[in-house]
Amino acid sequence: MKIETRIVLGTAFFLGLLLIVGWVALNEEGRMAEFTVQYEARSLERGATIYESNCSACHGAFGQGSGRAPALNNPRLFNGERLQEMKWAGGLYAYVENAISAGRPASVAYWPEAMPTWGQQYGGPLRTDQIRDVTRFVLNWESSALDEQNPPEVLQDFILPGIREEGDLQIMASGQPVGTDLAALELPVGDPVRGERLYNSNELGCSSCHMGGVIAPSTEGTVTRAEQRIATVAALANYTVEQYLIESILVPNAYLVPNEGSKVYATGGISIMQQNYSDRIDAQDLADLVAYLLTQG
């Protein structure tokens, strides 16, 4: 009789076990889905915390931008315009994740301050899962950004106002060219900040050759070099630095910088510098560019 009681009890336990495990099996799909939803929600909460301490100073607490970096709750981010503009072939999640991980270079045409790299694989401080958390948080602005009933009041676009949006360069291109008559040239007062922006812009592309001195002489030390040449080259006697720079931009072949080692700056009396800046910029642009270059020691 003792054995029978044990066997009955043991069998009851095993049957109960089977019932519970079967019940768990039936609910497993739902449990896994629920876990995913909850985990993603908590990930978003962590992302909000990381955003508050690391990102909100530049992008604004509500993603509206703060003057140092563009707004993130921008409809153009969510409606695909921005992806097209950046020629991004992947999805929005990957775009945002990449921008956070890899950062953004400084660009006067867009934003003069670089966005740091945040992902650890790019040398930043945040782990992959933290990048994921922040990405989820940023993407959660989608519904409010696309809500036309509730347009964002103050949003800063991805491009600095006054460059592309207001067509600064387009106006410039349709304006009066400077011409090469240097004797009659009268320039307005130059703005070095705008000059730097032009210098680095895609439209003029000065920095693409002059930056770091890889292809053309370096931007840095422009004034020093100009002074040396004026002092040593007979043909440049009586030039001011300003005049030398203006001539170099508008008539690149007037004075050819000697080739240095493997660096070839001119062949057959023609400089490698683009020859058409006199047609592409107006007096104000030229004044601004020169004003900027004069700040380059």
Choice between 142 and 191, CB closer to other proteins: 142
What is the 8-class DSSP label of residue 255?
S
Measure the CA–CA gap between 288 and 42, rounded to whole angstroms. 50
User: How far is C-alpha 209 from the chain's CA centre?
Assistant: 19
CB of 144 to other proteins, least distance (A): 6
CB of 240 to other proteins, least distance (A): 55
Q: Minimal CA–CA distance to 284: which of 175, 167, 164?
A: 175
Measure the CA–CA gap between 48 and 138, rounded to whole angstroms. 8
Q: Catalog residues that contact other proteins under the rule CB under 8 A.
A: 1-4, 6-7, 9-14, 16-17, 20-21, 23-25, 28-29, 31-32, 34-42, 44-46, 48-49, 52, 62, 125, 127-130, 137, 140-144
CB of 70 to other proteins, least distance (A): 18
Choice between 72 and 289, CB closer to other proteins: 72
State phi, psi for 271 to the nearest 5 degrees.
Answer: -70, 150
CB of 46 to other proteins, least distance (A): 7
Q: Which residues does 198 contact at the CB level (< 8 Å), separation at least 6?
A: 108, 169, 204, 206, 281, 285, 288, 289, 292
Choice between 42 and 253, CB closer to other proteins: 42
Choice between 39 and 295, CB closer to other proteins: 39
Choice between 42 and 161, CB closer to other proteins: 42
Other beta carbons within 10 angstroms of residue 290's beta carbon come to: 21
